[in-house]
Amino acid sequence: MELKELIENVQQWSKDRGLDKADSRKQLLKLYEEFGELVQGHLKGNVEQVKDSIGDMLVVEIIYCQQRGIEFDGNHKQNLCFPNDVTNILQWIAIFIGDLTGNIGTGTSKTNIYDINDCLYLVSEKYSTTLEACLELAWNEIKDRKGKMVDGVFVKEEDLSK
């Protein structure tokens, strides 16, 4: 599937579940959670977890942008002067997520999202995959997911009883 189609699918999925109008601060917390899983996958050398986490982070970014009225096309690879070591790239992602949190409600959120996306692109390359492939993995995981909104966060059905 093409990146554009995957992004549109996630946006529609989000609308269908009311996430597009939810509190974007909660989406930022979800971004932190997914970033933690990406770091964990890298530290453990778990390639599948890295791919899954990149896809999940992209889903969160897409929904965050939808909530904030930021156009997200996934093709922002303009700041590729980062170190080529994955650990350093992950540290930059942490910085950019922190900046995004500090800039919520300002016009610079867009730049922070693009910077995070650029770094995810570099990490995906280091793991011999693409953003498209990672997002498609995530899309296939969530596309039929059922659940409900709880305090502004979508909780998948299997987690509702926990």
CA distance 57 to 114: 13
**pLDDT at 118 > cutoff 80:** yes
pLDDT digits (tens, 9 = 90+) for 103-112: 766 655 788 8
- Quick one: pLDDT at residue 107? 58
Q: Which of 76-90, 114-128, 145-159 has the lowest mean pLDDT?
A: 76-90
- CA-to-CA dists, residue 70 to 40, 63, 125, angstroms: 29, 10, 25
- Quick one: pLDDT at residue 156? 86
Chain mean position to CA 38: 10
pLDDT digits (tens, 9 = 90+) for 22-73: 999 899 999 999 999 999 999 999 999 999 999 999 999 999 999 999 888 8
- Quick one: pLDDT at residue 81? 61
Q: pTM of the full predicted structure? A: 0.92
- Quick one: pLDDT at residue 56? 97
* 3-state SS, residue 156: strand
- Quick one: pLDDT at residue 80? 61
CA nearest neighbour of 21 among 83, 70, 66, 72: 66
- Quick one: pLDDT at residue 20? 94
Average pLDDT over residues 105-123: 83
